[in-house]
Amino acid sequence: MPTAQASQSAKQETEPTAPAAANPGAGAFGRRMQAVGQSVARKEAPNKVTGRARYRGDVTPVGTLTACIVPSGHAHAQLVRVDVDSARRMPGVVAILTGEDTDLLCGEVLEDRPPLARGTVRYHGEPVALVIAHGEAEARAAARRVAIQYAALPLVATVEAAVASDAPLIHPALGTYTRAQPPVVPQAHTNIADHAKVRRGNPTEGWAASDVVVAGHYSVPQVDHAAMETRSARVEILHDGRVIVQSTTQAPFEVQKLLAKSFQLQQGQVIVDVPLVGGAFGGKAAVQLEVLAYLASRAVGGRPVQVVNSREEDMATSPVGIGLVADVKLGATRDGQLQVADLTFLLDTGAYTDSTPRVARAICSECTGPYRVEHVRCDAYTVYTNHTYATAFRGFGHFPLTFAIERTMDRLAQALGMDPVALRRKNLIGPGDQTPTRMVLTRSTLGDPQACLDRAATLLGGPAAEATGSHTVRARGLALFWKTSSSPPNAISGAVVTFNQDGSVNLSTGTVEVGAGTKTTSAQIVAEQLGIDVEQVHIHTHINTKVDPEHWKTVASMSTFMAGRAVMEAAEDAKAQLKSVAAIALKCAPGDLSVAQGRVFLTADPNIYVTFSDVAHGYSYPGGDAVGGQIIGRGSYIMRHLTLLDEATGEGHPGPSFTVGAQGVEIDLDRRTWRYRVVRAVTVVDAGRVINPAGARAMLQGGMCMGIGLATREGVLYDRDGQRLNSQLRSYKVMRAGEQPDAYGVEFVETPQIDAPFGARALGEHGLLAMPAAVAAAVSHAIGQPVDHLPITPESLWQLSRTAAAQ
Considering only residues 782 through 801, tell me which ones interact with other proteins, judged by CB under 8 A.
793-795, 798-799
Which residues between 37 and 66 bind other proteins (CB under 8 A)?
Answer: 41, 44-55, 57-60
3-class secondary structure, 272? strand
Rounded Cα distance between 98 and 84, Å, is: 9
Binding mask 276-305 for other proteins (x = CB under 8 A): xxxxxx------------------------
Rounded Cα distance between 749 and 471, Å, is: 38
Pick from 339, 45, 312, 103: nearest CA to 211: 339
Q: Which of 730, 805, 806, 807 binds other proteins (CB under 8 A)?
A: 730
Residue 511's identity, in one-letter code, is T
Which residues between 657 and 676 bind other proteins (CB under 8 A)?
Answer: 672-673, 675
For other proteins, the closer CB: 32 or 720 = 720
Instruction: Note whether 372 and 427 are within 8 A (CB).
Output: yes
684 binds other proteins per the rule CB under 8 A: no
Give me the least distance between CB of 379 and other proteins, in Å please.
32
Rounded Cα distance between 369 and 661, Å, is: 11
The CA angle 635-641-645, to the nearest 5 degrees, is 130
Rounded Cα distance between 740 and 713, Å, is: 13
Residues 6+ apart with CB under 8 A from 283: 224, 225, 227, 231, 318, 319, 320, 321, 391, 392, 393
Give me the least distance between CB of 721 and other proteins, in Å please.
14
Residues 6+ apart with CB under 8 A from 306: 60, 64, 65, 66, 67, 232, 233, 234, 235, 293
Q: How many residues bind other proteins (CB under 8 A)?
A: 78
C-beta neighbour count of 469 within 10 angstroms: 11
147 binds other proteins per the rule CB under 8 A: no
516 binds other proteins per the rule CB under 8 A: yes
Q: Which stretch binds other proteins (CB under 8 A): 100-108, 132-140, 174-182, 567-575?
A: 132-140
Q: Which of 517, 628, 654, 772 binds other proteins (CB under 8 A)?
A: 517
Total residues found in the chain within this entry: 807
For residues 600, 601, 602, 603, the Cα torsion angle rounded to the nearest 10 degrees is: -90
Rounded Cα distance between 535 and 676, Å, is: 46
Give me the least distance between CB of 447 and other proteins, in Å please.
23
For other proteins, the closer CB: 46 or 182 = 46
Give me the least distance between CB of 632 and other proteins, in Å please.
31
Which residues between 219 and 248 bind other proteins (CB under 8 A)?
Answer: 226-230
Q: Which stretch binds other proteins (CB under 8 A): 28-36, 296-304, 414-422, 514-522?
A: 514-522
3-class secondary structure, 257? helix
Give me the least distance between CB of 740 and other proteins, in Å please.
4
Which residues between 384 and 443 bind other proteins (CB under 8 A)?
Answer: none
For other proteins, the closer CB: 574 or 696 = 696
Give me the least distance between CB of 198 and other proteins, in Å please.
33
For other proteins, the closer CB: 244 or 708 = 708
For other proteins, the closer CB: 198 or 315 = 315
C-beta neighbour count of 32 within 10 angstroms: 8
Q: Which of 86, 266, 333, 731 binds other proteins (CB under 8 A)?
A: 731
Instruction: Note whether 287 and 258 are within 8 A (CB).
Output: yes
Rounded Cα distance between 566 and 574, Å, is: 12
Rounded Cα distance between 324 and 407, Å, is: 14
Which residues between 432 and 491 bind other proteins (CB under 8 A)?
Answer: none
Give me the least distance between CB of 719 and other proteins, in Å please.
9
Give me the least distance between CB of 793 and other proteins, in Å please.
5
Pick from 448, 363, 534, 511: nearest CA to 748: 448
Which residues between 703 and 722 bind other proteins (CB under 8 A)?
Answer: 704-706, 712-713, 717
Which residues between 306 and 335 bind other proteins (CB under 8 A)?
Answer: 310-312
Q: Which of 694, 721, 755, 785 binds other proteins (CB under 8 A)?
A: 694
Which residues between 735 and 754 bind other proteins (CB under 8 A)?
Answer: 735-740, 744
For other proteins, the closer CB: 229 or 528 = 229
Give me the least distance between CB of 92 and other proteins, in Å please.
10
Give me the least distance between CB of 779 and other proteins, in Å please.
13
Give me the least distance between CB of 58 and other proteins, in Å please.
4
* % helix, strand, coil for the chain, step of 5: 30, 25, 45
For other proteins, the closer CB: 357 or 517 = 517
- Beta strands across the sheet bearing 472-483: 465-467, 472-483, 659-670, 676-686, 743-749
Helix boundaries (H) for 586-668: 612-615
Q: Which stretch binds other proteins (CB under 8 A): 10-18, 271-279, 371-379, 479-487?
A: 271-279
For other proteins, the closer CB: 207 or 798 = 798
580 binds other proteins per the rule CB under 8 A: no
The torsion angles phi and psi of 272, rounded to 5 degrees, stand at -110, 125
Instruction: Calculate helix-pair angle for 518-530, 564-585, nearest 10 degrees.
Output: 30
